[in-house]
Amino acid sequence: MDSIDHLFEAALTAQTQAYAPYSKFQVGAAIQTPKGTIYSGGNVENASYPVGVCAEASAISAMINGGERAISAIVVMGEGAELVTPCGACRQRIFEFSIETTRIHVAGPEGIRRSFFIDDLLPHAFGPGHLKAET
């Protein structure tokens, strides 16, 4: 099993653990870091809708708590016929921790549907370089 297969399986598992009692739309995400570590997360809804958490944000939080700061690849797993790409806020979150070669893989239950670089999803992004922040 190669690394994309491991990421796919981790995102699928995270999707099954997602908490989505209101929308019934479970999303899972799995991140691989340059060290090869995989972190995953699922969306977590709340009766007060604005305080829910996206799957990508959940996985990024796990990565940060694991002491890592770079995303090599991420798989976002959703249902339905349409591509379930990261929302705008999650595109910004992914950009914050992307490296030049970061790949965003959008998947459904059957497998990877399409892959992107972050510049494809968030062209001309604002980020740490604009603030001269060290990451």
Question: Structural domains in the chain?
Answer: 3-131 (3.40.140.10)
**Which of 60, 130, 46 is closest to 94 using CA atoms?**
60
pLDDT tens across 102-135, in order? 999 999 999 999 999 999 999 999 998 899 756 5
Locate the DSSP E strands across the chain.
28-32, 38-42, 71-77, 98-108, 111-117
First and final C-alpha spacing in the chain: 32
132 — alpha (psi -120 to 50), left (phi > 0) or beta? left
> Residue 133 has what pLDDT?
58
Give the pTM: 0.93
Torsion of CA 119, 49, 84, 79, to 10 degrees: 160
How far is residue 135's CA from residue 129's CA, in Å, rounded to a whole number? 9
> Residue 1's CB: how many other CB atoms inside 10 A?
7
pLDDT (0 to 100) of residue 5 = 95
Specify the residue for token string 């829910």. 52
Could you report the average pLDDT of every consecutive run of 10 residues in the chain (135 residues)? Answer: 91 98 97 98 96 97 98 97 96 97 97 97 92 69
56 part of the active site: yes
Active-site residue, selected from the candidate residues 9, 45, 56, 68: 56
